[in-house]
Amino acid sequence: MPSVADNLNATIAGYAAALAADSVNPQPSYELDGKRVDRNQWREGLQKLIDALQKTVNAQAPYIVSTKMVL
């Protein structure tokens, strides 16, 4: 069974792939049934989601605190 970090990393990879595909073949903004979809907002929102997920992954990872003594 995959760990939480593995699931988050898979989600990040999927979102990053969607952004990469959109950068290769950008889609225009459009309106459907009276609802407007702005692709620039979509890209920004997806990037913010990736950043938030990455922070969650980093928070779950082990970390080392190091200090230095200055004489």
- How high is the pLDDT of residue 36? 93
Contacts of 53 (CB under 8 A, 6+ apart): 8, 11, 12, 15
Domain ranges for the chain, please list them.
Answer: 4-60
Tens digit of each residue's pLDDT (9 = 90 or more) over 7-39 = 999 999 999 999 999 999 999 999 999 999 899
Distance CA 36, CA 30 (A): 6
Distance CA 28, CA 34 (A): 16
- How high is the pLDDT of residue 2? 87
What is the DSSP secondary-structure string of 7-67? Answer: HHHHHHHHHHHHHHHHHHSPPPPEEETTEEE-HHHHHHHHHHHHHHHHHHHHHHS------
